[in-house]
């Protein structure tokens, strides 16, 4: 059930081609090749790969957060769960983490959606740490750490929430930053306005303006 959720490329299966999330990827799914030849440049020098579009073999669900390189919790999002088709609104909480992927300017964005009421819909739901977004930021200082670029945290979260489909009225109830050193860098303006910032953002063109 879990790999039919929209965070892994959609609900459908393409006969003879495996999951729909596999079919548009190149044969070489290494991070180097995908960043060079597949990633979307959303604004100059900001590239992303999302499992909501396609699922590289290094994305997916892990049982332990320690499977990732130097993960740091960014915050907790309370939002509508829109990743499977259900008849009514279901509010869930999702923890968000950022880790490195090979380099200090390439980020693995990991989410963990807690069961709660979700288990009433997916009885066999298992909470895992899901690698759903990769963001590469080309900077003059390749080794610069994320804490030196606090606005990049906001941009990464905007891209994540857009790919999660949280772009309609009241789809985001709240965002609570963590008490980690990265969570403390998130701007108060971002926190206060995130419930409405993405409303009506239904294309990458619109997202670019927000970033």
pLDDT (0 to 100) of residue 15: 60
pLDDT (0 to 100) of residue 195: 97
pLDDT (0 to 100) of residue 10: 63
**Which residues of the chain, if any, have pLDDT below 70?**
1-4, 10-21, 23, 142-143
DSSP the chain: -GGGSGGGT-S-EETTTEETTTTTS-S---HHHHHHHT-EEEETTEEEEETTT---TT-EEES-GGGSEEEEEEEEEEEE--SS--SS--EEEEEEEEEEESEEEEEEEEEEE--GGGGGT-TT----EEEEEEEEE--SSTT--GGG-HHHHHHHHHHHHHHTT--STTSEEEEEE-SSTTGGGS-HHHHHHHHHHTTT--SHHHHHHH-
Question: Taking the domains of the chain in order of start, what are their residue ranges?
Answer: 2-210
pLDDT (0 to 100) of residue 12: 60
Alpha-carbon span 91 to 118, nearest angstrom: 8
pLDDT (0 to 100) of residue 17: 62
């Amino acid at each position: 059930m879990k790999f039919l959720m929209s965070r892994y490329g959609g609900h459908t299966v393409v006969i003879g081609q495996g999951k729909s999330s596999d079919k548009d990827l190149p044969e070489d799914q290494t991070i180097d090749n995908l960043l060079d030849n597949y990633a979307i440049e959303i604004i100059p020098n900001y590239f992303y790969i999302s499992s909501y579009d396609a699922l590289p073999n290094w994305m997916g669900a892990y049982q332990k957060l320690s499977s990732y390189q130097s993960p740091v919790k960014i915050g907790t999002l309370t939002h509508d769960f829109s990743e499977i088709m259900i008849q009514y609104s279901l509010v869930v909480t999702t923890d968000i983490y950022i880790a490195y992927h090979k380099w200090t300017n390439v980020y693995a964005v990991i989410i963990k959606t807690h069961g709660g009421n979700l288990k009433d819909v997916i009885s066999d739901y298992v909470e895992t740490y899901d690698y759903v977004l990769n963001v590469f930021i080309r900077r003059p200082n390749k080794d610069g750490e994320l804490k030196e670029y606090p606005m990049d945290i906001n941009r990464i979260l905007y891209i994540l929430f857009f790919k999660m489909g949280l772009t309609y009225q009241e789809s985001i109830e709240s965002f609570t930053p963590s008490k980690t050193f990265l969570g403390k860098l998130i701007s108060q303006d971002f926190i206060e306005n995130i419930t409405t910032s993405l409303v009506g953002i239904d294309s990458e063109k619109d997202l670019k303006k927000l970033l």
